[in-house]
Amino acid sequence: MTFGRIVRAALSAIGVFTPDMSPRILRNTFARRALLAGHDRDDLSRLLGLASNRIVDRLAATTSAEAGLNSPPGAS
């Protein structure tokens, strides 16, 4: 069994069904939580073994947008 199949089976077992049920969802969840916890983008890119910061920058942008949705009105 490949790692991708293991991840899909585990996600299915807990009732998670998304278009992308690959190990990438685990990486992105880890990265978003690390960014929310205040970890540096460069350090996170290195930790994930990424060649550039592009993916971490994209995740940070979605994390910022999600965080903004949860902010009270008038908060900056």
Distance CA 28, CA 30 (A): 5
Reading the block at residue 2, the tokens are 């490949």
Q: CA-to-CA distance for 43 and 15, rounded, in angstroms?
A: 32
Please give the biggest Cα pair distance in the chain: 50
Query: Does 63 or 72 have the greater pLDDT score?
Result: 63
**CA–CA distances in Å: residue 25 to residues 31, 71, 72:** 10, 25, 28
Mean pLDDT over 14-21 rounds to 88
* pLDDT > 80? residue 7: yes
pLDDT tens, residue by residue, 18-68: 888 889 988 999 999 999 999 999 999 999 999 999 999 999 998 876 665
